[in-house]
Structure 1
Amino acid sequence: MNRPVIRAAHRPCTVVVCRGCCCGNPRKYPGTDHAWQLDRLRAGAADSGGRFTVRTTDCLGPCDQANVIVVQPSTAGRLAGGRATWIGFALDDDCTDDLLRWAAAGGPGVAEPPAALQLQFVRPPREARARARR
């Protein structure tokens, strides 16, 4: 019996920016322009021609590693084995530049992350790891 082939809809790489209790908090990190970082990420997504999107969320969990950003793979990245990548201490322009380049290049499963950005990879909280195994 021939089964129909179901094709997954194309979903671009998604950069999820935490803006909960600690991330994006100018009292916690007064030397970081949190609004400018988010504006740069959104502008980069707008200029990417749909290669990646940016969204914000409430607290992602590892507050001791704020600012936290999660880069979720595109459909192609997921099919190639890419998984969500958690980045901690995303506070400076160099990190933001690396994030923009990696997301525009395809993100997890499609492009290798910059070496400096890899040093900022953090382990997701237990709840996120449990969801990923489902």
Structure 2
Amino acid sequence: MSKRTRKAAPAQGAARPTVTVCRGCCCGSPKVPGLDHAAQLRALRQALGSTATVRVTDCLDACERANVVVVQPCAEGRRSGGRPVWLGLVNDPDATADIAAWVEDGGPGIADPPAVLDLYAFRPSRRVQAELHDT
């Protein structure tokens, strides 16, 4: 048997969806004017407190799309084919409410997102995706 340290087996997935809100160098800053960033985060936490884990992270390296929100599926959603959905330019309360409603309905792999969220969806580089999913 090797003496190298082995990584623990990956978790089988969270019991509930995870909503990651970027609050790095551009997201959540005055660089995105006209948005109450604290209110946005508070709205997500209030709406999803019993439904999803809402966490804040440092820069997701998609600054040109500030504010960035990533919705990760729950374990059941992942088993059903759901994958993390990256949303950019989430800069108004209606978009925040649409995200919350979708996650309340189950999120990726469980419920289809409101069609308007297609306008916010983007695919970041593989490197950026890997960094988020390794945390």
Aligned pairs for 1:78-89 (under 5 A) are 78-89=78-89
Q: CA RMSD in A?
A: 1.6
Q: Deviations 1:80-123 (Å, cap 9, x if unpaired)?
A: 01000000000101100100100101100000000111111011
Query: Counterpart of 2:40 in structure 1: which amino acid?
Result: Q
Identity of aligned residues (%): 51
Deviation at 1:125, TM superposition (A): 2.4
Q: Which runs of 5+ in 1 are unaligned?
A: 1-7
In the alignment, the residues of structure 2 paired with residue 73 and residue 67 of structure 1 have an alpha-carbon distance, to the nearest angstrom, of 20
Deviation at 1:11, TM superposition (A): 1.7
CA contact (8 A) 1:61 1:125 kept: no
> Aligned pair count?
121
Stretch deviating more after TM superposition (115-124 or 82-91) = 115-124
TM-score, normalised with respect to structure 1? 0.84
Q: Which runs of 5+ in 2 are unaligned?
A: 1-11
Query: Counterpart of 1:15 in structure 2: which amino acid?
Result: V
In the alignment, the residues of structure 1 paired with residue 76 and residue 13 of structure 2 have an alpha-carbon distance, to the nearest angstrom, of 10
Instruction: Kindly indicate whether residue 47 of structure 2 is the aligned counterpart of residue 44 of structure 1.
Output: yes
Moved beyond 3 Å, runs of 4+: 128-132
Deviation at 1:128, TM superposition (A): 3.4
TM-score, normalised with respect to structure 2? 0.84
In the alignment, the residues of structure 1 paired with residue 51 and residue 71 of structure 2 have an alpha-carbon distance, to the nearest angstrom, of 13
